Amino acid sequence: MLLPTLADPSDTEAIRFGERVLSHRQLATVASGLGRSLGSGRVAVWARPTIETCVAVVAALGAAAPVVPINPKVGERELEHILADSMPELVIAAPGDTLPDGLATLPRIDVDLTANGGGRTASEPSGEAPAFVVYTSGTTGPPKGVVLPRRAISSNLDALAEAWEWTSDDVVTHGLPLFHVHGLIIGVLGPLRRGGAVRHLGTFSTRAAAAELAGPATMMFGVPTMYHRLAADIEADPELAKSVSAARLLVSGSAALPAICHERIARATGQRIVERYGMTETLMNCSVRASGERRPGTVGPALDGVELRLVDDVGAPITDSGPAENGTDETIGEIEVRGPNLFLEYLNRPDATAEAFHDGWFRTGDMATRTPDGYVRIVGRRATDIIKSGGFKIGAGEVENALLEHPDVAEVAVAGRPDDDLGERIVAWVVPSAARPTAEELTDHVARLLTPHKRPRTVHFVEALPRNELGKVRKRDLR
């Protein structure tokens, strides 16, 4: 069963948003009452960071109705595409939520936290039954609807529980959005499946997270931008650092966490952050284990049940994880995965679904290296983060980490740009800290830490980097 606590609930806390709390028994009762109004067709959920969003998702899953989470900041054109593509039967929202015009034609149900049970209890669907249709960010076209089956969610959450030693005694805190797999599936359904609790911060702040970790919270989920803020705040306030040091596990994902951020948090708290790697289509593929070695810059080995391999430019598996021909780097390959964690299809896109697979393996588009003992280091996306310059294959992430070690660099993004001589040249966009370095100073810094061919050829100083809701830099928007 995807959420066993719905059938056998306890009176322990399940979900908390500030002063608004539901126990597992209350959640089961309210979700059952809401489920009475649902059919088995897809339902859209207006996924604001509220307790009502969590109830709506749990109710739909209990009624075997696939959930289409809607980003509250969605644009008109994107919303029009999502609704036309997924064709939900209705929309669920919190009372008082103002919905955009695009949702006005759908029947609306407001979540009533006082509703009693007694609604329709669906029999547990098969593992292949769709649970979610989550829309990915479109880069070359409209977003694609990733259809996630129930077996992907249950198997992946159980694999994470094994890796993180996650039990019903754990309380997770986070401030992640609830329209994406990180915040919603891992950050809400994960604690509920374990029989534990989630305490959502609404909006992330170091002080709020530290307050939870000083109390009942044992785990925190976040993205690198959150940990960057956390590092700065705990260095300035020893009391905050003391609260954060009480955590059992700090987990980072959705983008690579710079090594310098690892070290700053470790120095202030004694905590070594656990990194994991996943995608909408695959949920989580890798993670550093709670009891394993925490190596900055790596996302650990593959999770139990997940098969992972690296392939070269022609799709041949890479068996040698040692130095590449140039003698300076490990061999870089594209990650391919297979296992019960994979999605079913891109909704209404059989062409895109077929293109995403290679001999039964899902082609992630992410480039990485792998150590002999299985630790994976993500280098970047094939399309934007692998720079082919002067005959070398260079990972943008490695150059970014080197630049972040400079004391006058606050944030940075690196990408390749066409060059008549080199094929591509390395370009850096730098947000300076209080003191502004020179471009020559930064290029020399990289050449000294790495090798000269990895130094940026152009440096742009900017006030901020373009980011999406999860804090990832939108490199296609760099100018």
The CATH class, in words, for 184-381 is alpha beta
What pLDDT digit, counting tens, does each position of 146-175 carry? 999 999 999 999 999 999 999 999 999 999
Question: What pTM value is reported for the model?
Answer: 0.83
Q: In the chain, where does the domain assigned CATH 3.40.50.12780 lie?
A: 184-381
**Domain limits, CATH 3.30.300.30, in the chain:** 386-477
- More reliable by pLDDT, 470 or 310: 310
- Nearest-10 Cα torsion for 152, 153, 159, 160: 140
pLDDT tens for residues 232-265?
999 999 999 999 999 999 999 887 788 888 999 9
Q: What number of other Cβ atoms are within 10 A of residue 315's Cβ?
A: 13
What would the pLDDT profile of 171-228 be if each residue is shown by its tens digit?
Answer: 999 999 999 999 999 999 999 999 999 999 999 999 999 999 999 999 999 988 899 8
Q: What is the largest CA-CA distance in the chain?
A: 71
Candidates 423, 406, 416, 411; CA nearest to 456 is 416
pLDDT of residue 390 exceeding 90, the answer is no
CATH superfamily of 386-477: ANL, C-terminal domain (3.30.300.30)
Q: Report residue 73's pLDDT band, with 50, 70 and 90 as the boundaries.
A: confident
Query: Residue with structure tokens 């969590």?
Result: 54
Q: Please say if the pLDDT value at position 130 is more than 90.
A: yes
Amino acid at 16: R
pLDDT at 134 over 90: yes
Identify the residue with better confidence: 473 or 54.
54
464 close to 477: Cβ distance less than 8 angstroms: no
Q: Which of 137-151, 247-261, 357-371, 423-437 is predicted least confidently?
A: 137-151
pLDDT at 328: 38
Per-residue pLDDT, 115: 81
Flag whether pLDDT at 121 surpasses 70.
no
